Amino acid sequence: MIVRIFLVGIGNPDRTYRFTRHNIGQLFVDFVAEALDVSFQPGKGEYVYARKGDLFLFKSLTYMNLSGLAVKSIVDDFGVEISQELFVCHDDLDMEPFNVKVKYDGGSGGHRGIESCIYHLETLDFYRLKFGIGKPKGMDPKDYVLSQLSDDELNKFEDSFKIALEGIQVMLNEGREKGITFINTYGRRMNDG
């Protein structure tokens, strides 16, 4: 059975938001594109995309709260089997910083981008590739998610990105479940050392 993976990084398109916590999903997709030496090109809808074999990379061009419009367009344009092939990459306030995990279905956890995806896809049944950003201390969460990442934080996220990419490669070569297990096993240990 051929495994196709559609990674969609959601975030805010304005360059001033590029290195913010809320854009960590798009930063991950950029990391994967660079690691695989592929370039993005315009899509038919509000997204850009790149491809390497059975791995498809996307970045939404909508603002976070409207991410579902771009994701729905991707699903329609590429015939994505939502429950099996779609992985929406995003930040998560409830996870420890730099941890990464894959979650299937469930609610939005208060994440507006995921709320939009659920609304436009009309289902909860898709994978989320979540990168922990932690809860803010003494800062409004809305301001926190839009705050810039430091160079040190970007370096630590790069380690998280390497784990996630390795897990995706396991998915493509050995099957989806093995890759998810890899990410969920090694991705939660990012704070241990």
The DSSP line for 104-159 is ESS--TT-HHHHHHHHHHT-S-SEEEEEE----SSS-HHHHHTSBPPHHHHHHHHH
Contact 56, 49 (CB under 8 A): yes
Q: In this structure, are strands 100-104 and 47-52 parallel, antiparallel, or unpaired?
A: unpaired
Q: Which of the residues 22, 90, 111, 120 is marked catalytic?
A: 22
Per DSSP, the three-state class of 27 is: helix
Per DSSP, the three-state class of 34 is: helix
90 flagged as catalytic? no
Burial of residue 120, with CB atoms counted within 10 A of its CB: 0-12 exposed, 13-18 middle, 19 or more buried: middle
Q: Which amino acid, residue 186?
A: Y
User: Active-site positions?
Assistant: 22
